[in-house]
Amino acid sequence: AQSVTQPDIHITVSEGASLELRCNYSYGATPYLFWYVQSPGQGLQLLLKYFSGDTLVQGIKGFEAEFKRSQSSFNLRKPSVHWSDAAEYFCAVGARSNDYKLSFGAGTTVTVRA
């Protein structure tokens, strides 16, 4: 069965600084990987996804993520954080063998300080 670990429960970053959120997955074959963002009181919105091909994927809002098979990781990055990036971020993994259902990590809350 697939699973996802987000090691950081909470990260605080200064506005303008870079941000990296960690995601590690467990799955035997090539996974389908996603990052979602949840603003306070809102549903989840897809930031980016990786299915195959180029291991560096670009998403919305200036985010990117890199798939590293050797490390079973799919870390999310943003070079310069804006106050509006304060939110909760979820990594998710899916597999064709599991009928494409997604397994979500516990989430990382990002606080942006001025």
Partner 1 sequence: NAGVTQTPKFRVLKTGQSMTLLCAQDMNHEYMYWYRQDPGMGLRLIHYSVGEGTTAKGEVPDGYNVSRLKKQNFLLGLESAAPSQTSVYFCATERGSGYNEQFFGPGTRLTVL
Window of 16-24, 56-64, 77-85, 102-110 that interacts with partner 1 by CB under 8 A: 102-110
28 binds partner 1 (CB under 8 A): no
Q: What burial class does residue 88 get, using C-beta atoms within 10 Å of its C-beta: 0-12 exposed, 13-18 middle, 19+ buried?
A: middle
The DSSP secondary-structure symbol of 9 reads S
65, 78, 90, 112: residue in contact with partner 1 (rule CB under 8 A): 90
The DSSP secondary-structure symbol of 7 reads -
Distance CA 48, CA 2 (A): 19
Q: Which residue has the tokens 């995601």?
A: 23
Smallest separation, CB 82 to partner 1 (Å): 22
* The CA-based dihedral angle spanning residues 32, 38, 106, 86, taken in that order and rounded to the nearest 10 degrees: 120
In the complex with partner 1, the residue whose CB is nearer, 8 or 15, is: 8
Q: What burial class does residue 5 get, using C-beta atoms within 10 Å of its C-beta: 0-12 exposed, 13-18 middle, 19+ buried?
A: middle
In the complex with partner 1, the residue whose CB is nearer, 43 or 114, is: 43
Per-residue x/- track, 34-73, partner 1 (CB under 8 A) = -------xxxxxx--x-x----------------------
Smallest separation, CB 80 to partner 1 (Å): 26
Task: Tell me how many residues contact partner 1 (CB under 8 A).
Answer: 21
